Structure 1
């Protein structure tokens, strides 16, 4: 009798272990599915946000060249008013975390630092690069930020670059050389000002792909962006005083400014940084190649800018670098 009871208990224990194992496997599958869905959502966010960013570059070039808008005026308008949009969205969707962040001095300090090192830096570098060259070239130079992300990943993982990553670096260097010189080492295809701002643009892209991630995971997209954009917008306004530099805009010019704030900043930054959070910085930079593609298409179509064969080859090599190293 005791042996029978013991056998029964053992069978039940085995059944229980089997059930727990199956439940654990199902749970892992569920988590995996959710993780995949999150990555796919992040990839979609990066694609749409990158396309909006690339298209805005062309609108910004039009404002700078045709209306004589100063880059800092446009940057401050984008920073301040998009910050208000992000905060309004946070108040509607994530009010609890917005209140917590507003009362957390340590968190506000960290957001302030990242807002200067990533948000404001990327805005200034990009628009001045657009002003010195064109939106297509500036956006492709920005893609070189992938090299900074690669360096960060290699240092964090304590490893050297893999073969395909090393090949990507060589392609990036050749592509940059073609963009800068047009294939002729004795001349500069790009002005020195464009080279400097394009290089800073790449550095800013690296910072934007890495620095905000942890803060966004803690406070959410709208809360982080709202506070960060408002910080940088107010600080820039105090230094630059945009009310003393009002451009002579007509109705179409103001429409472009509004599009720059809502689509080129609120939508572009919100979706791109959400994509960084969900899909990770490497996938985000890879899919962010939609930016130079969109910028190139809109530059040629809207601004009637001609691109040489060496420009297109340089663009292709830099985009190939992103694919290889991501």
Structure 2
């Protein structure tokens, strides 16, 4: 393989890995961001130390909000008996409306263009089902079966699925760094699933199944919506696909009939999971990535599983064994190797 092909494969891997982590922002600088190198900040922003620092803070806060959101969802399910489907339905609809309103203010032409593109409606629906509905529901079920920290770390395995896709697409074998990353991912997952005793499972089997399904569907987020986002922007695509996912669940969930009663604390937690943990987290994280670039953004995004594990211990009484911590560490190393 010549040097040009290696560079092409490496760039494809980085672009896909970053998109798998989270999609890219749409604003007045969207086209500049799309055309820039995945390793570099958006050229619309200066590369000064102050800009990089602000970007790092925004990225860390976004990841921290995502991690906290996982624990908030666990509290809603454990304390208020809100089902994963109820959380997913309400959160997708409400966040989708917020994304759409924001798109109408920041990317009005893109939003109107997407709405008029009837040929793309089928792809919008498919993306909403696989990349939003399946990702959200499987993640919430994984949290419900295990805890927010474990579910979030399992979600990080999406990078392995992305690597498989990149290798197949580019007709190449994984390089040494990638092979090591995959090996660490398997060992880390095995330690988490067995607690270090390989003769039995310590992790609920459905928790593991939902976690791996979440990782696979999160990897699809790296592949399916890329062209849509490049054409219409992240805010527009998020708004459309989140609303589609919520509407699909609506007749089955009927939250106006089935939602358990919530006190003021429950209402506050539900409000946070929509405004802060979904919409706000996306906004902060992606605004930060535009300033610091994809590689730094991927590494700083590790604040999500760290915060998920920390808040799980503090607020839900989750207990992690030595095998869990070693498994977490191995998967974090995998994230840096497969970035």
Length-normalised TM-score, structure 2? 0.80
> CA shift at 1:44, angstroms?
6.8
Number of the residue aligned with 1:225: 238
What CA distance in whole angstroms lies between the structure 2 residues aligned with 1:147 and 1:261?
Answer: 29
Contact residue 49 and residue 269 of structure 1 kept, 8 A: yes
Number of the residue aligned with 2:100: 87
1:294 maps to which of 307, 323, 329:
307
Number of the residue aligned with 2:41: 37
> CA shift at 1:282, angstroms?
7.3
CA, structure 1 residues 94+132, in 2 after alignment: closer, same or farther (shift >3 Å)? same
Number of the residue aligned with 1:11: none
> CA shift at 1:100, angstroms?
1.4
CA-based RMSD of the aligned residues comes to 2.7
What CA distance in whole angstroms lies between the structure 2 residues aligned with 1:34 and 1:305?
Answer: 37
CA, structure 1 residues 140+187, in 2 after alignment: closer, same or farther (shift >3 Å)? same
What CA distance in whole angstroms lies between the structure 1 residues aligned with 2:177 and 2:163?
Answer: 12
What CA distance in whole angstroms lies between the structure 2 residues aligned with 1:92 and 1:288?
Answer: 27
What CA distance in whole angstroms lies between the structure 1 residues aligned with 2:129 and 2:292?
Answer: 24
SS in 2 for 1:189: coil
1:180 maps to which of 165, 181, 193:
193
Higher helix share: 1
Contact residue 41 and residue 294 of structure 2 kept, 8 A: no
Contact residue 217 and residue 277 of structure 1 kept, 8 A: no
Number of the residue aligned with 2:31: none
User: How many residues of Structure 1 are paired with residues of Structure 2 in the alignment?
Assistant: 296
**Which of 1 and 2 has greater Rg?**
1
Unaligned runs of 5+ residues in structure 1 are 1-30
For residues 149-160 of structure 1, the aligned pairs below 5 Å read: 149-160=162-173
> CA shift at 1:280, angstroms?
8.5
CA, structure 1 residues 277+72, in 2 after alignment: closer, same or farther (shift >3 Å)? farther
SS in 2 for 1:210: coil
What CA distance in whole angstroms lies between the structure 2 residues aligned with 1:230 and 1:32?
Answer: 29
What CA distance in whole angstroms lies between the structure 2 residues aligned with 1:191 and 1:311?
Answer: 14
Quick check: 1:78 aligned with 2:108?
no
Quick check: 1:252 aligned with 2:265?
yes
> CA shift at 1:270, angstroms?
4.6
For residues 82-231 of structure 1, the aligned pairs below 5 Å read: 82-231=95-244
Contact residue 146 and residue 285 of structure 1 kept, 8 A: no
CA, structure 1 residues 150+207, in 2 after alignment: closer, same or farther (shift >3 Å)? same
Number of the residue aligned with 1:20: none
Contact residue 50 and residue 272 of structure 1 kept, 8 A: yes
> CA shift at 1:47, angstroms?
4.0
Q: Deviations over 1:181-225 (max 9, x none)?
A: 011122211011111111111112211233222211211122111
What CA distance in whole angstroms lies between the structure 2 residues aligned with 1:90 and 1:248?
Answer: 33
Unaligned runs of 5+ residues in structure 2 are 1-34, 44-51
Length-normalised TM-score, structure 1? 0.83
Number of the residue aligned with 1:313: 326
What CA distance in whole angstroms lies between the structure 2 residues aligned with 1:148 and 1:223?
Answer: 26
